[in-house]
């Protein structure tokens, strides 16, 4: 789930167009494992200090096409950040079903 300070950015026309074009340029292929990519991930994470900098937020050099599994690994350092939680395909933190 987007942080409160980033919600307006992630719903902006600029981001929607940028991420759609970027993902299409990567053929919706995860840059880590080759599976279906569903997330345009920011290599330099978005913060309140850089949210207004298009060289961070809209720069394709700062984006990576990722599948949900690899996106979860990046945000959780390879394992669950809290037992029983995971990110869904939209990047929202949700409770994991038993056994996942």
pLDDT at residue 84 tops 50: yes
- Cα 72 to chain centroid, rounded: 9
pLDDT computed for residue 74 by the predictor = 82
> CA end-to-end span of the chain, whole Å?
20
Q: pLDDT tens digits for 39-60? A: 999 999 889 999 999 999 999 9
Tokens standing for 76? Answer: 């959780």
Specify the DSSP element, H or E, that contains 66: strand 63-66
Q: How far apart are CA 50 and CA 44, in angstroms?
A: 9
pLDDT of residue 77 exceeding 60, the answer is no
* C-alpha to C-alpha distance for 6 and 92, rounded to whole angstroms: 13
Average pLDDT score, the chain: 86
Average pLDDT over residues 12-25: 97
pLDDT for the residue 99: 46
97 contacts: CB under 8 Å, gap ≥ 6: none
């Amino acid at each position: 789930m987007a942080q409160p300070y980033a919600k307006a950015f992630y719903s902006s026309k600029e981001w929607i167009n940028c991420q759609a074009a970027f993902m299409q340029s990567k053929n919706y292929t995860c840059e880590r494992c080759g599976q279906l990519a569903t997330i345009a991930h920011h290599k330099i994470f978005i913060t309140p200090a850089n949210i207004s900098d298009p060289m961070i937020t809209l720069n394709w050099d700062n984006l990576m096409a990722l599948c949900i599994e690899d996106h979860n690994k990046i945000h959780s350092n390879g394992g669950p950040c809290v037992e029983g939680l995971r990110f869904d395909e939209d990047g929202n933190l949700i409770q994991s079903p038993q056994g996942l």
